[in-house]
Amino acid sequence: MFFKSDNSLGAPEEMFEALREVNQGPVTAYGDDPWTKQVTQRFSEVFERDVAVFMVTTGTAANVLGLSLFAPPWGGIVCHNESHIMADECNASEFYTGGAKLMGVAGDGGKMTPDGVIDALYYTAKGDPHSTQPAIVSLTQVTEAGTVYSLEEIRTLSEVCKAREMNLHMDGARFTNALVSLGCSAAEMTWKSGVDVLSFGATKNGAMAAEAVVLFDMDKADELMYRRMRAGHLVSKSRYLAAQLLAYLREDLWLRHAECANKMSARLAAGLRSSNKLRHAFDVDANMQFVIMKKAVHEQLIAGGAHYYTWPGRGPKGDQAKQDDEIIARLVCGFSTKKEDVDAFIELVGSVA
């Protein structure tokens, strides 16, 4: 009954097969190999247009390198207060941008609204040397609360950006889970909705250490090439990253993995809703959900063999708000989560006093 993180679930055999395929003698390093070149072609097919793809090994690197293209040291990065770049990536954004300011926005269910973004910009003045110059908005898809921005919500945020000569970044650590949830194409969820740069996550959905910055503004590609090298994220044996991403996108493995994770999460949510031992903090849109329970219930679940993280977030407001004798637990399903574990956890919840 392991629901701590989709980061924890290992990798499928397809990844190891792909690594064995490319592990055949010497090839030119630093991306000058046939597999790395195939990655850009494959991503361009997925996104239905020419894109620039820069592989890295961590989601943090993908986020901050993408943001650094658009946010100068005197710039502002608008993001949700509980976003990964704000709460979980130390000062990486500030470091890689040379000092750009993170401007936090509140929002129910992990989502920013256009009004919230506009309010965050209230005290900024374009061209005023005393003022932070807002440069880019960063949204997380799936959000840190497990919810998913609709295409319309992404478009409205993009409209706010474009009206103020700002760009839009998507932290897609769980990109494919959101894609499956919405039932749309990768193009529709990104550049067709106004996204300028994407952090494309694969590690949470089955890769070992393979992430990518996907750039829709091709004029910025040369600059990102140098920024990645300067940051120490140009991997010499990039064929091993390329092999993973090619395997990930081959025969819809990425979509099948996300479908499995989302399906198990939906099964878990349905079973837990029938219990009077806990309640959901937010809508369950993809593969991650948050439940509020009594501390005594939490202790019994842990003693019964359940594994999950407690969440420090504030949670919902009003009648559903967390009380002093309660905790919020985060439950994440992944590509290899088994139905038996989901059902065992539901049964365990039903058995506690």
Q: Which domains does the chain have, with CATH numbers?
A: 11-253 (3.40.640.10), 254-351 (3.90.1150.10)
Check residue 353 and give its pLDDT: 73
Pair of tokens at residue 290? 């948050």
Name the pLDDT band for 20 (thresholds 50, 70, 90).
very high
Whether omega before 142 lies within 30 degrees of 0, making that bond cis, reads: yes
Residue 183: both structure tokens together: 């039932």
CA distance linking residue 289 with residue 309, whole number of Å? 11
pTM: 0.96
Which is more confident, 353 or 329?
329
Q: What average pLDDT does the segment 99-126 reach?
A: 96
Residue 164 has pLDDT above 80, yes or no: yes
Residue at token pair 């439940």: 291
In this prediction, residues 101-118 reach a mean pLDDT of: 97
pLDDT computed for residue 320 by the predictor: 85
pLDDT band at 283 (very low <50, low <70, confident <90, very high): very high
Identify which of 109, 115, 201, 93 has the alpha carbon closest to the alpha carbon of residue 160: 115
268-275 mean pLDDT: 95
Mean pLDDT of 299-316: 94
DSSP secondary structure letter of residue 208: S
CA distance 65 to 129: 25
Mean pLDDT of 271-300: 96
Q: Each residue of 69-84: b (16+ CB within 10 Å) or e?
A: bbbeeebbbbbbbbbb
Q: How many CB atoms sit inside 10 A of residue 91's CB?
A: 10
Does residue 166 carry a pLDDT above 90? yes
